[in-house]
Structure 1
């Protein structure tokens, strides 16, 4: 990185307010152009969430060495450090501000998507560092653009010095994992048995179908989809061949052609989830209103920076959230249909998006071909069931069989913290605070696809899944040395924790309803008394 200019914090803030996207990486200041923001394979939001912040750990965790070598081209100098650390700013997107094309069609200008709601208290659920977004209808701002105060983080209980120490220790841990050769993909011992398993399940489904055992066939098809998702996940993270084009081609074959889901949607969604894990306003993987609310904060009708809409806590949501702990497994049984909806909405919007990410045109086109192929063969399967009743049963059973996967994934996050500790929090601290493992015997680890080791996966997302077990031992040592909690639950205990969280929020909704009824009754009585007096 050749640039030698030293940038002060105030100078960086001024440039950000002027519309530039500046990110700190290993004490260097990176300027992300609009063209690269649009072309970034991980999506624009993955970059916007680090404007004004030190993203060194995240950048190295998510990018291959060959990509890291290109980063020097974006450096415009070094930044002024305080006690060997960068004092972070709040990314504008975290306060509801984004850049949009101006009326002239060439330049960009600030646009307020939502109103930032800074915490006025300091509690476990709503710490003083927290910034949540609500609809502008709640408290419309007349600000034409963010100001210096917008970029200043709220007070936090975290020590910048300690968070910097965690970051340095994480870099050493990462080096140990690299030196141990854990980024080398075990093709034969890892994916060999899996390919045989996929093939066996597919053949069993076809055999049962040919003999008219339609429900049995649907079960085996669902099991094949359940297992295939794990490899699609690895490919989406570039964790198999580590070559973007090859991994994307293979992932489209598996996700779109065989599974009917968009890998392009999943990658964009999943990258944001990893970047801002368990943040109520920014992590799409915990934003499930009107069906689920895992934090009382969702009862304030938050704005989602990913979905670009308000998650209204309306009458419909009140009914479902009040009984969410009872409906949890029912909703999970139909979760795959929600994946279809998100996939096709994403691809539809991309059809009209002139901004194309890397490989955007051919990847998008191939996904459309893949989904057309999927519904052709799967539609033929349903048609061949002989009656609409059996076709419906085949559809529902095959999709319900995949539900344990959805349950497993939410176990690792729904019961963990959803508090926003601010931009001071280090990458390893945030991932260990918001993620947990599912304990299981190694002999049945394949049922979880190895992704029961979510803590290690979140710290090293590109790590081949079959090496997570060995890496997790090193992560546990790291957590103990740094005084951090490595959370893990058995499958049964994890389910109990999630149900407990859902029940807790549901009880608050019921309490709100009782309070509202009492207040309404008091208001009616007061009006009647006033009428009598009059």
Structure 2
């Protein structure tokens, strides 16, 4: 009898608490989606993250892109379990009245929970240590080839090896930006600066700024900076209507100059990729010395860049003549271009859309905008695990050594919900990409679609 009374009392208390809850609708939540008024919902609880946006470790772009929505799936994808404890201080007291979880989201969350339960997010298998060891060995061989070898072939080989070094070092920078690859966050930040700024000359701050936006708004023409290559490339004819980049805050104008370049983009794609690093260097300097943007660890990033622009020119200057210096630099650029091409293959030929990303269709958006590249297991080191691009986009905190392991589970989930899972060979992915570029190029040549006035400024301020 007493047990029944206690049970009834507990039920009454729960009912009273439920009645005391304050609710808002999805429509009301969507009104809080602008700078200075940023609300989000996670598992039906509403949080005010307006003041937090500027201090968010992932930058303010993800919050600005997803504000006014339920962002549970994106939060789970990007944050470890310890992050949940920080949410309480942002709680508004409101719950989402019409909160529902789709079957796809439910399965995705169960899969993430399963991976966490089996420790996959923490099992990194010393990949970073082995990669850093190989990068160090390659660096010593490059220096030896330049300083102590007289053969032009040795100098050419050293340049090619440097390109491979840049690729592997960039993978370490990428991994350390997504999860802690070292023993603590301090060493992790050091790994980022060394692998990114010091060894490759590309700022980890710039990479985080653009890369987080890319993940959140995968293949959105106006929100994903990794598709905004006007006036050099356009993966869709929708760019011909002059899209406004919500990331860069400017119009991507399709003028006569852009029409000319895009008309031949399927021919210029590989040559441009060979010198794409020049643009990355420019973007690094534009961000680090910008007075308009707040750059985390700006001084540390600048010091790292200065380290690169000290050793790299000095090494090149040690070559015997101008011809060999040009050959060395071009060889390193061409080899490293394989990585730039790979990243384009993962997305250029996938589906695109216009508009803000949606927080409640995380799984669907990632499958729509991503292609995998199939390869043998022994090639995982060469592609940095990122040939499993869909798996990485769905679970960005998952160490690269686990991506091949979870691939069959992701395939099964895609099949269950009738979503695309596209895994192509490197050759097929190139074919798909060139076909996409050619289609847009032929559409750009259509003279019945008049281009606006030519703005040369666009040509020298290309982003991405």
Report the CA distance shift for 1:276/1:18 in structure 2 as closer, same or farther (over 3 A): closer
Moved over 6 A (4+): none
Match of 1:509 in 2: 444
The answer to whether 1:497 aligns with 2:435 is no
**Superposed counterparts of 1:196-235, under 5 Å:** 196-209=133-146, 210-212=148-150, 213-235=154-176
Is this contact kept in 1: 2:32–2:68, CA < 8 A? Answer: no
- d(CA) in 2 for partners of 1:262 and 1:40? 19
Counterparts in 2 of 1:243 and 1:473: CA distance versus 1, 3 Å? farther
Instruction: Tell me what 1:22 maps to.
Output: 39
* SS class of match (1:77): strand
Within 2, Cα distance between the matches of 1:343 and 1:458?
24
Deviation track 1:179-219 (CA, whole Å, cap 9, x = no partner) reads: 2221123343x334423322332222122112133222111
Quote the residue 1:411 is aligned against. 345
Equivalent position SS for 1:444: helix
Would you say the 8 A contact 1:239–1:463 is kept in 2? Answer: no
Q: CA deviation at 1:239?
A: 4.5
Asked whether the 8 Å contact 2:350–2:371 carries over to 1, the reply is: yes
Among residues 428, 440, 444, which one is paired with 2:379 in the alignment? Answer: 444
Distance 1:18 1:480 in 2: 39
- Counterpart position of 2:128: 191
Aligned residue number for residue 171 of structure 1: 109
Give yes or no for contact 1:182–1:471 (8 Å, CA) kept in 2.
no
1:265 corresponds to 2:201: no
Distance 1:172 1:192, change over 3 A: same
1:471 aligned partner: 406
- 1:393 shift after superposition: 2.2
Higher RCO (C-alpha 8 Å, min separation 6): 2
Instruction: Report whether the alignment pairs 1:379 with 2:320.
Output: no
Q: 1:314 to 1:478 in 2, by over 3 A?
A: same
TM-score by length of 2: 0.87
Q: How many residues align?
A: 428
C-alpha spacing 1:11/1:440, structure 2 compared with 1 (3 Å): closer
- Give the TM-score normalised by the residue count of structure 1: 0.76
Name stretches of at least 5 consecutive residues in structure 2 with no aligned partner: 1-17, 452-464
- CA deviations 1:85-140 (Å, max 9, x no partner) are 2xxxxxxxxxxxxxxxxxxxxxxxxxxxxxxxxxxxxxxxxxxxxxxxxxxxxxxx
- Conserved? CA contact 2:39–2:50, under 8 Å: no
Q: Distance in 2 between matches of 1:230 and 1:170?
A: 26
**1:389 — aligned with what?**
323
Q: Show structure 1 runs of 5+ residues with no match.
A: 86-160, 518-534
Contact 1:290–1:320 (CA<8 Å) still a contact in 2? yes
